[in-house]
Amino acid sequence: MRRLLLALLLVMALPLAGLASAIILRVDNQNPYASSLQKLTAIPDFVLQSDGTLFFARTGKEVGQVEYYTAQVTTDEMSTMVSRIQLGGAADWEEDYENATLQGLPTTVFALSAPGIKRTISVYGAAWSAREHQIPDVLG
């Protein structure tokens, strides 16, 4: 529970206080069955800030448990990630990747803000869509 509160504080409060760097990439998995309160208070699965600070979630050992971590990436690692996104054709990606034949899957939302890119992309059923090659490889 402490990690959850710490992650919530770091991801949400620091940018509001002007103490954190700009967010380059944010990834959220949105549960279609979540309540409005759950959606409002959801913590992103992945956040990369311009200073190299990385926040991410991993599935815990218990069913339904999520553990939150922070890490620091180097300037070279950040450049590699941004280059991969740019070379992956981010400027040409659609805003929404939907699949009407699937039901009850989460929507993954990618918010990108890097040099030359400012996009929000929603992918319904990202794992399935990636496996079926229906979305750009970088998003899978």
Which pLDDT score, from 0 to 100, does residue 135 have? 64
Which pLDDT score, from 0 to 100, does residue 1 have? 47
> Which segments within the chain are labelled E, that is strand?
23-30, 46-49, 53-59, 66-72, 96-97, 107-114, 117-124
One-letter amino acid for residue 74 of the chain? T
- Calculate mean pLDDT across residues 42-68: 84
| Phi, psi (degrees; rounded to nearest 5) at 106 | -75, 155
| Phi, psi (degrees; rounded to nearest 5) at 122 | -110, 130
pLDDT over 90 (residue 72): yes
| 11-49 per-position pLDDT tens digit | 444 444 444 578 888 888 877 777 777 777 777 888 888
Q: Mean pLDDT check: name the lowest of 1-5, 82-86, 120-124, 135-139.
A: 1-5
pLDDT over 80 (residue 75): yes
Which pLDDT score, from 0 to 100, does residue 119 have? 84
Which pLDDT score, from 0 to 100, does residue 71 have? 92
Contact criterion met (CB below 8 Å) for 111 and 25:
yes
- Calculate mean pLDDT across residues 59-85: 83
Which pLDDT score, from 0 to 100, does residue 137 have? 61
